[in-house]
Amino acid sequence: MLAVNEAIQQMLAAIDPIAETETVHIADAVNRVLADSVTSTVDVPGYNNSAMDGYALRVADLQHTDTLQMVGESRAGHPFTGALNAGECIRIMTGAQVPESADTVVAQENTELGASANRIHICSPLKLGNNIRKQGEELKVGAVVYAHGSKLHPVDIGMLASLGIANISVRRQLTIAVFSTGDELVQPGQARRSDQLYDSNRFVIHAMLERCGYQVLNLGLIPDNKQEIADAFIQAAKQADAIVCSGGVSVGDADYTKQVIAELGAVGFWKVAMKPGKPFAFGKVDGAWFFGLPGNPVSATVTLQQLALPALQRLAGERELQPVVLGAIAGEALKKRPGRADFQRGIVRYENGENRVYSAGPQGSGMLSSLVHGNCLILLEQDRNHVAAGEAVQIQMLQTPIK
């Protein structure tokens, strides 16, 4: 069996990113992968502006007086067009342009009206430049804002809009074919015999892949029939960049998926030293990459996240980002045998100044409730044995696309 990192590296080494690109409007760019780097064409902010509601002034004038004459105002979109003379100030609102003749802004709460409505008394000491956002202090013209391969999230769309960018070059979206196999499975909503299970894997896989920004071709539920499974693969390979299916990759007499892949394409490997999820297959069918997930629901979900998604991200042209791993203390004893990396479902809480993690309940690979109720994976190394309460462990928070 391959170690988890070895399996990931083999897949990454085999896969080249898709080359096709397209131009989309930023409103349609969430979850898309940038084909080129993005540089700023403007300074951000584009002019000196006030960080507070208050008064813009020349700080040198306060060496001789603490009362200034107000001679105008600057509001967002309506700047003051004059120039300040000695002893003068203007009313200014948050975000409004600071005139070139002013160098400091005093917050309104640090002022008082003088004897005349246009006289302002300054009640606190000021330093040169207080409360002014300088032109270009966030970004200068020509600065790299995003590297190519960055996936765009909602806040990135706002950033692009703030730069005046309306259209962006992105990689073509991946199309991924999904299906489940197994005579024991039945479609949700249909009558179920006592010896059958509802097909949950295909739905969670579909949802996770869509949340990642991929187009999903759902081919449904395929029975344990070698010819029907072969037909499904042939259809999927014609329409998709990759195929993700669950079930049929173990060693049972009716586990036909591995046999079909060997006949139609090539199997790179089909066992990984991890729990849950040992029977994971990787290969290729007629130009489409293949990821065969185990049949048990937790195994399918965890192997999709830990193994298949890094490979799909490479295929999509996305930058390789390492998952965030945190340290924690085991709040209770955890069962573990050496031989496979174990991804136990846990619940982490911040207690007495440290992260303490507890089991999310029974760890059976068919129990999706452990993922529903858990908020992290406890990452137990391949050679590690049982974990005693109080031992240090590493955790990975459960987040998009699982949560």
Can you give the CATH number for the domain in which 238 is found? Answer: 3.40.980.10
161: enclosing H helix or E strand? helix 154-162
Identify whether 143 is part of a domain.
yes
Q: State how far the alpha carbon of 232 is from the alpha carbons of 21, 210, 215, 265, 360, in Å.
A: 28, 21, 18, 14, 37
User: What percentage of the chain carries pLDDT values higher than 90?
Assistant: 82
Q: What is the pLDDT of residues 38-97, one digit of tens each?
A: 999 999 999 999 999 999 999 999 998 999 999 999 999 999 999 999 999 999 999 999
pLDDT number for residue 240: 98
Q: What is the pLDDT of residues 179-216, one digit of tens each?
A: 998 888 898 998 999 888 889 999 999 999 999 999 99
Identify whether 320 is part of a domain.
no
Identify whether 179 is part of a domain.
yes
251 pLDDT exceeds 70? Answer: no
pLDDT number for residue 257: 83
- Check if the beta carbon of residue 1 is closer than 8 Å to that of residue 285: no
pLDDT number for residue 86: 94
- Check if the beta carbon of residue 326 is closer than 8 Å to that of residue 355: yes
What DSSP string runs through 74-95?
EBTTB---S---TTEEEEE-TT
Containing structural domain, residue 386: 326-397
Paired tokens of 204: 């969670």
In the numeric block, the tokens 């996240």 are attached to 305
Paired tokens of 35: 């084909």
Paired tokens of 286: 């007629």
Mean pLDDT for the stretch of residues 375-382: 97
Q: How many residues does the chain have?
A: 403
Paired tokens of 214: 């991929």
The crossing angle, in degrees rounded to 10, of helices 257-264 and 226-239 is 50
15 and 27 in a common domain = no
13 pLDDT exceeds 70? Answer: yes
Q: What is the pLDDT of residues 347-374, one digit of tens each?
A: 999 999 999 999 999 998 988 999 999 9
300 and 310 in a common domain = yes
Burial group, residue 74, by CB count within 10 angstroms (0-12, 13-18, 19+): buried
Mean pLDDT for the stretch of residues 334-351: 97
Mean pLDDT for the stretch of residues 339-349: 97
SS3 of residue 360 by DSSP: coil
Gap between the terminal Cα atoms of the chain: 29
Identify whether 254 is part of a domain.
yes
The whole model's pTM is what?
A: 0.89
- The total number of structural domains that make up the chain: 4
Q: 90-94, 169-173, 176-180, 292-296: which has the minimum mean pLDDT?
A: 292-296
Cis ω before 401 (30° cut-off from 0)? yes
54 and 193 in a common domain = no
